[in-house]
Chains A and B, each alone.
Chain A
């Protein structure tokens, strides 16, 4: 390894020199890039080499590397530069990268954030994680092995994630005698593969990461190569973004209400720019208003642009909450509950069409299911294959159906407005990443009719705050008794109510549904949607449903706005319910005449954070109802 030669400035800077230095730093632009490619192709070594040759590795870190060699951890008695980035014990022991490492460095021309991603197929999702915020990629190939399946998979993911420019680093040239023929062969192979993909620029560079050839210093072994070194390319590749030139978008992240005088909408501007006085449209509702002020801690701004995290106040008092999007009125975002998207699957459990997942896009959260898997992508030959599920690391093109109107732009136009994640409702794992292509059918470009008579107006007339009280608990715990008694008392007080009872709904609205898992989910969904309509009508709605699964109750909750949904846990011990057995169902279940009966041979998942818990085993329905009434008063519903 070359010895370090360093120009050491005298310790300290005077303020003038500091200001000059900071100004210079400030003028540098930032390149976010990643390294990717198949396992062992030398990605981590390459980053280690880049840092080392740029003299960005501290002495104590070098000493640690050298002591690793003495302990026999480095390969073949030499310092292993990959150890500079492979920071986990398991990575160092196995000599592979498991998860992304982020490193930060600067050259005289540019600042860099590099994500060194793992090549191993098992960790493909971590590669996607690293790539998602990058504008440029170095795709490595081992010169001996050439383009492999995993190289192609990474290449497809880069393409899907919208990275337009890549460098193909053909590494370990030292192991093929620095042969220009071998280099040309690999490059032409790769070009054949990428012909139909949408990269704008691919620059191929022959390198040897271990020895530093063509990394920072031009290689003396490859005089036949006349292109830039890797570093020169990193310093000059043009990835300028057009974010500020795009139409204005700001997803509302948080409503800032410190007191009754101030109501601001906080968020990060994802596109365009904004000035006080500009007109915006609020999506999905479709109402228009004008920007009053752009508020920041450092004073009000005259203009804010893409990337800024700001707080806006508006000219009109309209109902806006987290997840709504403020957009330029002449270039609205799309609004649809049906979308077409590319999905990368990231979970051991396969993606199942029809199953509900939580979809998170920016600040919007909804329930979504894949309605159709149009095709799976074969990463080796880019062919479209038929399929019914997506397995771990597979990529597919799907239609999704979403529980509410989603505001978005196609991913290709705006990553923040078009990229979403899918979360499993039971495990809470992030199971997929999606990139929206376009909205499907009817909902596109027709936003919800902005009705002047809205929920708040209707509620005002009734002098109440509408909400849904979701009674959950075992059969026989007293849900229906308590709910109907509550309704009577609310009615007597002049409140406007409605009661949805599980058994009754099964006779009408849901009489086509049976008791399979899918039907149970659909049953709950319809009831929740109905309750939502009634809440929208300004009513206090009581839903009485065993609803044994957390995920189902969560799905119901997700349909409502915050503070509109109260989960009421009617908590009576199983023994008490079984003893009561008002409909004789427990007896039948014990006798095996009814299958999947909650509490007997099917689980009841207790609420973890019920808004209200009623001790229905100990107290009388009357006592429980007065408890409920006082709690509704305290929360300002009545």
Chain B
């Protein structure tokens, strides 16, 4: 890291590297869930550091819902090419055949089929015994409760009321066949830490995080970007061009943009420090009902 003074970020970095290595040393078949966003970018960067001069000794897995922003897919493919890594892409073909979309089936069912079920299919098909995810504890109330090494049953379920004690940096990595551990190397990072680190380390990110003029429609107070022709427009609804950016990235129909002028990292960090709204405000799926994240995690969601 270029700023030597940044001891706090260095501590976080070292802790994450330790976690990444622990998994590689203890599991037979780990995988890294790569979701293309800023947290994944940082996690991947840390993996490059942890195993240097070797390449990260595990594949990347992207669970593609087929509704990701196009720029995300372009960025994803460039990233694996630039770093020379293995990427597996999994799509729930059954969901595609049944034409499951967030518009016709509602965000809850869509998320379950195209994300949660898809993820479980991919994990089962390859028999992964550990899967890295880029979730952070500061994102949401139930995440704040989760262990760094989070045990999952054979059905991929999380039991929040009965988590394994986790003392010091002594992680219990034991699983039986079919069971697995979700591992969160970024547990202790905050949104501000992520951005500061991206800035200091000059980590490439998807351009959608920077403000630009983009076509959007406003629905229930959420700005949805018209990323392709699949977005059904209501009668009389017309996309308008607005200067917007994204604070988190996911499926474009479920991810709200924010009005913003910030087209540089300093701009983004400044905006973040002034905001009165949490990171998940723009996520349509988290709002469906209280405790929805916890429920989804119990069902196997990341």
Contact = CB atoms under 8 A, between A and B. Distances in A.
Contacts of A415: 168
Question: Which of A85, A253, A322 has the most C-beta atoms of chain B within 10 angstroms of its own C-beta?
Answer: A253
Nearest to A61: B278
Contact of A309 (B5, B28, B50, B261): B50
B165 A125 contact: yes
Contacts of B143: 87
A112 B162 CA distance: 27
A133 B168 contact: yes
Interface in B2-44: 3, 5-11, 13-15, 17-18, 21-22, 24-25, 28
A82 to B, nearest CB: 12
B188 A102 contact: yes
Nearest to B147: A129
Given A26-B3, A428-B174, A433-B165, A256 B54 contact: yes
Interface string A88-108: 111010000011111110000
Nearest to A132: B167
Most chain B beta carbons < 10 A, residue from A307, A309, A363: A309
Contact of B199 (A22, A58, A421): A22
Interface in A7-47: 8-15, 17-18, 21-23, 25-30
A28 B55 CA distance: 34
Contacts of A126: 163, 165
A275 B277 CA distance: 46
Contacts of A86: 141
A608 B5 CA distance: 49
B21 A59 contact: no
Contact of B261 (A11, A28, A59, A64): A11
A26 B8 contact: yes
A636 interface: no
B25 A103 contact: no
Contacts of B167: 128-129, 132, 419, 421, 430, 433
Contacts of B270: 9, 11-13, 17-18
Interface in A512-529: none
Contacts of A6: 276
A268 B25 CA distance: 14
Contact of B14 (A10, A307, A311, A358): A307
Given A58-B278, A268-B14, A309-B50, A87 B8 contact: no
A17 B266 contact: yes
A346 interface: yes
Nearest to B270: A13
A104 B6 CA distance: 17
B294 A88 contact: yes
Interface residues of A, number: 84
A608 B177 contact: yes
B196 A11 contact: no
Interface string A45-72: 0000000000000111100100000000
A111 B14 CA distance: 17
B142 interface: yes
B211 to A, nearest CB: 10
A128 to B, nearest CB: 6
A432 to B, nearest CB: 9
Contacts of A136: none
Interface in B147-203: 160-161, 163-170, 172, 174-177, 187-188, 190, 196, 199-200
B230 interface: no
B163 to A, nearest CB: 6
B172 A309 contact: no
A424 to B, nearest CB: 9
A224 interface: no
Interface stretch (A295-303, A370-378, A576-584): A295-303
A421 B17 CA distance: 21
A246 B238 CA distance: 67
Contacts of B54: 256-258, 262
Residues of B in contact with A, size category: 35 or more
A256 B164 contact: no
B120 interface: no
B113 interface: no
B172 A104 contact: no
Counting chain B CB atoms within 10 Å of each CB, which of A22, A322, A360, A609 scores highest?
A: A22
A566 interface: no
Given A59-B276, A64-B290, A100-B145, A132 B52 contact: no
Contacts of A356: none
Contact of A308 (B9, B14, B177): B14
A428 B53 contact: no
Contacts of A98: 160-161
Nearest to B17: A309
A282 interface: no
A539 to B, nearest CB: 27
A9 B274 contact: yes
A129 B49 contact: no
B80 interface: no
B64 interface: no
A416 interface: yes
Contacts of A421: 165, 167, 170, 172
B3 to A, nearest CB: 6
Contacts of B142: 87-88
Interface string A257-269: 1100010101110
B285 interface: no
A254 interface: yes
Nearest to A608: B177
Contact of B175 (A23, A132, A428): A428
B165 A346 contact: yes
A361 interface: yes
A255 to B, nearest CB: 9
A11 B14 CA distance: 32
Contacts of A113: 188
A423 interface: yes
Interface string B45-58: 00011111111000
B271 interface: yes
Nearest to B191: A104
17 contacts: A15-B266, A18-B266, A22-B3, A29-B8, A87-B142, A89-B290, A99-B145, A101-B141, A101-B144, A126-B165, A133-B168, A254-B24, A268-B14, A268-B169, A420-B170, A421-B167, A428-B174
Interface of B: 1, 3, 5-11, 13-15, 17-18, 21-22, 24-25, 28, 48-55, 137-138, 140-145, 160-161, 163-170, 172, 174-177, 187-188, 190, 196, 199-200, 260-262, 264-267, 269-271, 273-278, 281, 290-291, 294-295
Given A9-B270, A58-B281, A609-B177, 17 more contacts: A8-B274, A17-B270, A18-B270, A29-B7, A85-B141, A87-B142, A128-B167, A129-B165, A253-B21, A253-B25, A258-B54, A266-B50, A268-B18, A296-B52, A297-B48, A307-B11, A429-B164
